Amino acid sequence: MSQIKVNSIVPVGGLTSGANGGIIQTIQTFKNDATSTTSNTFSDLTGMSATITPSSNSNKVLIRFSLCLSSTHNPVIHINLLRGSTNIAQPSTTPVHFSTMMAYIDGDKIIQQGYEFLDSPSTTSATTYKLQWRNHAAGYTSKLNEYYNATNYAGTSTMTLQEITT
């Protein structure tokens, strides 16, 4: 089997002065099994983490995730994005309830919620991105990839990391 490996592909006419933004690496995690939480404190969202090793300190990492969420009693589900153990993509103010993303699920339905963030990790070391979640208040059940009240409705969730040259 033949393989061609390159660091980058440049158009025949070359790159324009100051050009950047090429995708040089893609990592994805895919979760198709169900999990749930009843907690109102943040905990790791099992299976929703991925590790990438940037090739340059100046390169950026584009993080995209899509979550299949359902819940009981119309709560707000809070999702936090972390690089290692550090919360990133946070609001500039610090109200009582804050997170990277919130999802309100009206009327005990199932939703597909997407998000993306361009991070500057400033490292060439292996870097893990992960999601944490919690319910807005105690007493609720939130689920990933399965309708909360029936097993005949299910979906999938993904997290994709892409290294972007600068």
What does the DSSP assignment read for 95-116?
A: -SS--SEEEE-TTS-EEEEEEE
Q: Which residues pair with 63 in a beta bridge?
A: 117, 161
pLDDT of residue 72 exceeding 80: no
Can you tell me the distance from the alpha carbon of 90 to that of 7, in angstroms, rounded to the nearest whole number? 33
Tokens of 95: 């109200």
pLDDT of residue 14 exceeding 60: no
Q: Which residues of 59-70 are buried (b: 16+ CB within 10 A; e: fewer)?
A: bbbebebebbbb
pLDDT tens column, 110-151: 889 999 999 999 999 999 999 999 988 888 888 888 876 666
Residue identified by tokens 């993306």 is 116
Residues 6-25 have a mean pLDDT of 68
DSSP per-residue letters across 79-96: EEEEETTEEES--SS--S
Could you name the CATH architecture of 23-164? Sandwich (2.60)
State pTM to two decimals: 0.84
Q: Domain extents for the chain? A: 23-164
